[in-house]
Structure 1
Amino acid sequence: MAETPAPGRPVRGSTTGRPVMAALDLLGRRWILRVIWELHQHGGPIGFRDLQRRCDGMSSSVLSTRLTELREAGLAAPTPESTWHLTPLGTHLVTAMGPLLDWSRVWAAQQGSPDTDTTGPNPS
């Protein structure tokens, strides 16, 4: 299994591990944004199976890997009841992604593509 990207360690696209490159490496992994979004949308702790259902089509092994990466990155954490939630840092990331969501809607409009999602991104 590949190592979880972290600032200060070499990552895809950066031998120095600049923080922004480490973040982009982590966020560019398949399904990671979807897991973050579903944890955010749920608004509270969510169990593994429920999270898997919300991430239609994701295998349990991939979800397990992504949750481990998010835990190691400090963005999500398990509870004693074996559910998962975003940490304050994970919530901060979702807030920071707001301007990107706004930009993507402008981009979609300029490309003639309707904005079909009024609740937020579906980053799978």
Structure 2
Amino acid sequence: MAAFDLFGRRWILRILWELRDEPLGFRPLQQRCDGMSSSVLQQRLTELQESLLVERDESGAYRLTQLGADARHEMRGLMRWSERWAAELETGAAVQVADRPS
């Protein structure tokens, strides 16, 4: 359950997503995260480092650890499910609208 607690915190999944392809410095990461406050970003990065999902490289940029990359890989199934769910919700909403009396 600790993983769900961590992943449920605001911005955690976004940070992991933005680090998926390459290491990023603090400012570029902040910009990719829609300019979230520096204090919140620092707090989330600290939590991710303590959880061994993110580390800093030689240049000081943040990158996923092997555990972080593995977590991202494991979330692919959830991403596929969420796409199916969104499609079902959309279809269900369309059916509900069509079923309404005029």
TM-score tier by shorter-chain length is 0.7 to 0.9
Let me know the Cα RMSD of the aligned residues. Answer: 1.0
Q: CA deviation at 1:81?
A: 1.2
* 1:48 lines up with 2:48 in the alignment: no
Deviations 1:3-45 (A, max 9, x none): xxxxxxxxxxxxxxxxxx10011111110010011011xx221
Q: TM-score, normalised by structure 2?
A: 0.86
Q: Which has the higher helix share?
A: 2
Q: Distance in 2 between the 1:55 and 1:77 partners?
A: 18
Query: Partner residue of 1:26?
Result: 6
Partner of 2:95 in structure 1? none
Identity, % of aligned positions: 54
Shift of 1:48: 0.4
- The match for 2:55 is 77
In the alignment, which residue of structure 2 is the partner of 1:37? 17
Please give the alpha-carbon distance, in whole angstroms, between the structure 2 residues aligned to 1:39 and 1:45.
Answer: 6
The CA distance in 1 between the partners of 2:2 and 2:82, in whole Å, is 22
- The superposition leaves residues 74-108 of structure 1 with CA deviations (integer Å, 9 ceiling, x where unpaired) of 00001121100000000000000000000001000
Structure whose CA Rg is larger: 2
Q: Which runs of 5+ in 2 are unaligned?
A: 92-102
Secondary structure of the structure 2 residue equivalent to 1:112: helix
Q: Which aligned runs of 4 or more in structure 1 are off by greater than 2 angstroms?
A: none
**Unmatched 5+ residue regions in structure 1?**
1-20, 114-124
1:61 equivalent to 2:39? Answer: yes
Q: Does 1:88 align with 2:63?
A: no
Length-normalised TM-score, structure 1: 0.71
